[in-house]
Structure formats: structure tokens, C-alpha cells
A and B are shown apart, each in its own frame.
Chain A
């Protein structure tokens, strides 16, 4: 996994609330047996009309917006456990998702793929969405080490599990860690 320490980028605003993983990656694209290519189909049915034409009003299709941060409405990533949603967002180029609330499984999936979900207050989110819409060139700064997100003269601290933070900063994953605990796991199994 790629290491994550700091990021300064512009962002794409997606105000919609309760974005479920079926929207992030529709089920008909889940037939692959590897993790590649999902980025091409991220938000497929919101980015394109049924006839294949581009939906110009969808923020990802608006050339004024870009960058590796997605700023989304409340309760992002609810629904299906499909990790393909995290692969699709990562594949498209997002490294950070900002929202006022994340669904549990999505949050874990994102972290396991080097995508940082940052939970901010409703007030901060609303202001940030407005600022990006007013000025799409707005740069947002993410400091994982010190756990804050900032833009213009505004700043908010965010929470992250201490263990997950170490994983992201060092590019580790849970498999290495669990295998290092093999003796304890074997001892537990012996008691069963």
C-alpha cells in the first residue's frame, strides 16, 4: 500500500447525502476478478445517461472541478459491503473522502486501500462545499500526522484510529500484522 502523510489538493464537491456503494459502483461492474479498471466506472450511472451521453451537470464531469479529494454529503458509503467501491474511488484518483458521516464497512474498506475518510462537522462540511462551489481552485490541505484538515483560514481536527494511522503513514496492512500474531492465534485455537 502507498504511504500517506500529507496532501494538498483541489476537490470535487458532491452534495448528495446517503450516497450508497451501489451508486459508487453499480453491481453490473462487479464481475472482475482483479482490482483494476473500477475507476473508469465510478459513479457510472450518475456520470452518464442511459444512452451513454455524458451528464454535464454531475460534478465529476464538470471541468472546473478536479483533484484527489472528494467532498460528499452526510452518510457516505452506506449499503453494500463491496470493496469495489473503494477500488473505484482509488482507481479514479481520489485519496481522501470528506463527509460529515461515513458508513462503517465503507470506512474500513477505504482505509484498507490507502484512501483516507475524513469525518468533519456538519458546519465545516457545509462551508467547505460552498467554498469549493464558489472557487473550484480552492486548495485543501490534509495533514494526517497532526490530524487536521484546512483551507483558507479554516481548520478542523479529525479523528483516526491510532493503529490505522500507523498503517497509512507506513503503508502497512492488516495481513502482515495478523500474521505476526500467529502464535497468539494458535494458542487461542488450542483453547477452543
Chain B
């Protein structure tokens, strides 16, 4: 029987197999940030264990950093302390840190690919569930808890049970205005938030083959929202072209040799998956969520379903929505374009193309937060910043920002926010805040209109 992409990468990293137990998996790249690493460093220090491979770790500050005035000292004492701890821990253990203000700083899942750290066939981990993003390169990448961060520090390995395999095929032609975000929101809405638990997912089909790397990252990023530890897309010419020439990618003959290896990674034709789903691209439309988990999504033209279920009703009560209602024309005061899901250059190109020549609605507070310093620079270089400013928007500085509201970027209680982020959990964007997940196109249209509009009519 043939092997899957996942099998090939996994099997190449198994150090040892424990009888009746887990496998020891070698980790090629470990990404860390300020929130989930301090306790792991403390653990090692208290047990007098050295960091095994500091050269395989890259650190950034992103989760609780401000998106305004990053040159000033942090006002929040606890956040400042976390950043200071990260700086100290990295210096002490000789770990590369791209701290606040550094030209390589940004959201961990945005900077690693753009700097060329993320490469096909690797194993990558980070104390962050959206590490699945890097699967876009044909990488086994997944989020871990802080105890596991400490394990990787100590041994560059993890003890894991090999997950089951799942493939989601999407074939056909996507309609105009249907973006990668819509594809993944549609998949999650159809399969459910725990359909992927225990599995590692591969996305296959012409829709993903034709997607840009940015789009593939958006899709893989949200694998965890259907419970899958990670998602992967087979590396191809699009992948190699993206990696080529990046700062930490192999160069010259070494790169060509790597490409030859990467070409052997795609799933064999006769490989069998434990679970497989197929979706027609034509069935997907621009999506929007109405509830408090990412599986509660509908096409923007559809009405909220009418289910009799206590958790469903609790969710609608929190959102202050009614069963059977349409969200079109719903007044919105907040828009967030950012997060590790949708803060890459392509996302800002889409938003800029829409807002060009239009004006932001008066009622709208919009936070446009680039994923990294490099994305911010590119936005300016491509003239997008000027387009946003002409339309009445201002860009903020990079970071996770209102995706999880650890910094000051909090949506007020009771307010709706159309957000390009990944989670619409209760209170995710601030206590009592109500999150509606959507693509950067739908978010941009909401910011111009001050309400949710039927984007399918708008663009046709």
C-alpha cells in the first residue's frame, strides 16, 4: 500500500517506537512566543536541564504586544514582564529572538514562512494551536502545550501517538468572490468542529493546487477549528517558488537537491486514508459565522438554521441572533483584518482592491493589522497603504491583536465585529464581544458599508 504525504514526513522523523506506547518524533523547527514559553523555561531551569538545540528554535513576540507606539515601553506591567522574560530566556539560552520592533518581528505563523524557516517535509511545533498553518508547505506542523514545549527544549523530541489520516478533497471551480477563507469555513461548517479530532488532515484537489501559498496557509491555519491537530497540502511548484530565495531557505545546489527530495513527498496514488470527504467547489459561497464556534457558519446568502439544541440556543443568545434570520443588512461597528489566518500581503491586496475609491462607513472602527513588519513594508511599497488611507483607514503595527485581545485591541461588550481571524468563541475578542468570522473581502465590504452586505451581488 502506498504512503500518504503525512506518513512520509512522519516516518522520516521517528527516532524510536515505544512498545504499547507512543513514538518519539524528532522536531526540526521549534517556534516560541512570550505567552506559552516562560513556564517551560522555568521547568528546565528548576530541573537543571539545558536546552538541547537552541539552533533549532526561533522566537518572536506577538501575542500580547501593542499595535500602536511599539517604540514606547509597554504600559501593561504583566505584558511587559512576559516580554522581558522572553528576552532574558532567549539571551541566556542563545535562541534567536525577533523582538518587538525588529525588522523580522511579527506573528509567529506569518514570519516563519516569509523568512524561509518553514520548508516542505519538516516537523514543526509551537505552543500555539494555529501552528497547523505551516502545513501549507507539506510540513507536519502542530500546536503543543507548554509541558511539550519543555520536552522539545530538553530533547528536541516529542512523545506522540501517530494520528489517523483524513483527506478532504475539493474539486471544481470556485465562484467569484469565494476566497480560501470561505473554503475552510465551508469545510468546517459541513464537517463540524470535532470531525478532525484524532486525525491529521490532507487537503487535496485542484482548488488547493491552484491556490497561492497565502491561501493554502489560511486553509491549513484553521485545521484545528475542526479538531484536527494539523492540515497539510502537497508541496508543488507554487511551494518551491515561494520558498526559493528566502533568507533561511537553502540556496543554490542545496536548494535544487531539497526540491528533488520534496518532489517525492506527495501522497502515493494507492494510499488509503482512514477517513475521506469530497466537496464540490461550486457548492461553496462567501461564508459568515453566526455562532460561538467556527463550525457555526453559513453562506452569506443563507439564513441561520433552526435547530433545537441547548448549546446551539446558548450560542445564539450570546450573539443576540434569532433562528432563521439572515445576517445581511445587520449593522456592524467593528471590523478586524488581521491574525495568523488573514494578515498576509494577499489579504491586504484583496481588501485594498475593494476599498479603492470608496470611503469607510462613519460608524465603523476598523483595525487593519499586518501580520509582520515585512508585510507592513510591502503594503506600503505596493501603494496599498495610500489606498487604505484615502478610504479613511489607518494601518496598525504587527501582532496578534484583536484575534485574542490580549493587548488593548478589545472589542467592547455587546458589539459585533466582522473579523478575518479564526475563532468566534465567547469573549474571544473582548469580554462580551460578538465575533463574526469572514474573509478579508467580506470584512472590507462591511467596513465600507457599516453593515453586512450580500457580497455576491456586490461583485457581480
A residues near B (Cβ < 8 Å) are 15-18, 20, 22-23, 26-28, 30-35, 45, 50, 73-75, 78-84, 86, 101-105, 108-109, 112-113, 161-163, 173-175, 177-179, 181-182, 184-185, 188-189, 192
Could you tell me the distance in whole angstroms from the C-beta of B146 to the nearest C-beta in chain A?
A: 4
Could you tell me the distance in whole angstroms from the C-beta of A189 to the nearest C-beta in chain B?
A: 8
Residues in B neighbouring A20, C-beta threshold 8 A: 293, 423, 425
Which residues of B in the span 26-56 have a Cβ within 8 Å of any Cβ on A? 26, 35-36, 38-39, 42-43, 47, 49
Residues in A neighbouring B156, C-beta threshold 8 A: 185, 189
Residue pairs across A and B with Cβ atoms less than 8 A apart, 11 shown, are: A22-B425, A31-B82, A34-B42, A50-B432, A80-B128, A104-B197, A113-B147, A174-B158, A175-B150, A178-B154, A181-B16
**Are B227 and A104 interface neighbours, CB within 8 A?**
yes
**Are B16 and A175 interface neighbours, CB within 8 A?**
no
Does B21 have its Cβ within 8 Å of any Cβ on chain A? yes
The listed residue with most B CB atoms (<10 A of its CB), out of A22, A35, A81, A109, is: A81
Interface magnitude class on chain B: 35 or more
**Are B15 and A181 interface neighbours, CB within 8 A?**
yes
Could you tell me the distance in whole angstroms from the C-beta of B403 to the nearest C-beta in chain A?
A: 9
Whole-angstrom CA separation of A118 from B21 in the bound complex: 18
**Are B227 and A103 interface neighbours, CB within 8 A?**
yes
Asked if A32 meets B147 with Cβ closer than 8 Å, knowing A75-B194, A163-B22, A188-B26, the reply is: no
Question: Contact check: which of B144, B157, B311 meets A81 at CB < 8 Å?
Answer: B144
Does B18 have its Cβ within 8 Å of any Cβ on chain A? yes
Asked if A45 meets B427 with Cβ closer than 8 Å, knowing A33-B39, A78-B227, the reply is: yes
Could you tell me the distance in whole angstroms from the C-beta of B129 to the nearest C-beta in chain A?
A: 4
**Are A104 and B198 interface neighbours, CB within 8 A?**
yes
**Are B155 and A179 interface neighbours, CB within 8 A?**
yes
Could you tell me the distance in whole angstroms from the C-beta of B140 to the nearest C-beta in chain A?
A: 14
Could you tell me the distance in whole angstroms from the C-beta of A97 to the nearest C-beta in chain B?
A: 15
**Are A28 and B406 interface neighbours, CB within 8 A?**
yes
Whole-angstrom CA separation of A18 from B315 in the bound complex: 11
**Are A78 and B16 interface neighbours, CB within 8 A?**
no
**Are A80 and B129 interface neighbours, CB within 8 A?**
yes
**Are A184 and B147 interface neighbours, CB within 8 A?**
no
Could you tell me the distance in whole angstroms from the C-beta of A179 to the nearest C-beta in chain B?
A: 6
Whole-angstrom CA separation of A17 from B296 in the bound complex: 13
B residues near A (Cβ < 8 Å) are 15-16, 18, 20-22, 24, 26, 35-36, 38-39, 42-43, 47, 49, 63-64, 76, 78-79, 81-82, 85, 127-129, 143-148, 150-151, 154-159, 161, 163, 193-194, 197-198, 224, 227, 229, 293, 310-311, 314, 404-406, 413, 423, 425-428, 431-432
Whole-angstrom CA separation of A40 from B411 in the bound complex: 24
The 8 closest A-B pairs by CB, nearest first: A163-B21, A31-B78, A112-B147, A83-B145, A109-B145, A33-B38, A178-B155, A81-B143
Can you name 20 extra interface pairs (CB under 8 A) apart from A34-B42, A181-B155, A185-B24?
A15-B310, A31-B76, A31-B406, A33-B82, A73-B311, A75-B193, A80-B129, A81-B127, A82-B145, A83-B145, A83-B147, A103-B194, A109-B146, A163-B20, A175-B150, A178-B24, A181-B15, A181-B157, A188-B15, A192-B26
Residue in A closest to B196 when the chains form the complex, CB atoms: A104
Residues in B neighbouring A82, C-beta threshold 8 A: 35-36, 145
**Are A18 and B193 interface neighbours, CB within 8 A?**
yes
Residues in A neighbouring B47, C-beta threshold 8 A: 175
Residue in B closest to A18 when the chains form the complex, CB atoms: B293
Residues in B neighbouring A161, C-beta threshold 8 A: 21-22, 161
Whole-angstrom CA separation of A191 from B229 in the bound complex: 28
Question: Contact check: which of B63, B129, B151 meets A175 at CB < 8 Å?
Answer: B151
**Are B147 and A16 interface neighbours, CB within 8 A?**
no
Whole-angstrom CA separation of A28 from B143 in the bound complex: 20
Whole-angstrom CA separation of A12 from B148 in the bound complex: 29
Whole-angstrom CA separation of A79 from B222 in the bound complex: 10
The listed residue with most B CB atoms (<10 A of its CB), out of A15, A17, A104, is: A104
Residues in A neighbouring B16, C-beta threshold 8 A: 181, 184
Whole-angstrom CA separation of A144 from B297 in the bound complex: 40
Residues in A neighbouring B311, C-beta threshold 8 A: 16-18, 73
Whole-angstrom CA separation of A113 from B151 in the bound complex: 13
Could you tell me the distance in whole angstroms from the C-beta of B206 to the nearest C-beta in chain A?
A: 30
Whole-angstrom CA separation of A35 from B15 in the bound complex: 31
Could you tell me the distance in whole angstroms from the C-beta of A95 to the nearest C-beta in chain B?
A: 17
Could you tell me the distance in whole angstroms from the C-beta of B107 to the nearest C-beta in chain A?
A: 15
Could you tell me the distance in whole angstroms from the C-beta of B257 to the nearest C-beta in chain A?
A: 14
Whole-angstrom CA separation of A82 from B35 in the bound complex: 9
Residues in B neighbouring A179, C-beta threshold 8 A: 49, 154-155
Residues in B neighbouring A28, C-beta threshold 8 A: 405-406
Question: Contact check: which of A23, A30, A173, A182 meets B426 at CB < 8 Å?
Answer: A23
**Are A178 and B151 interface neighbours, CB within 8 A?**
yes
**Are B194 and A78 interface neighbours, CB within 8 A?**
yes
**Are A185 and B81 interface neighbours, CB within 8 A?**
no
Residues in B neighbouring A182, C-beta threshold 8 A: 155
Residue in A closest to B129 when the chains form the complex, CB atoms: A81
**Are B144 and A105 interface neighbours, CB within 8 A?**
yes
Residues in B neighbouring A75, C-beta threshold 8 A: 193-194, 197, 227
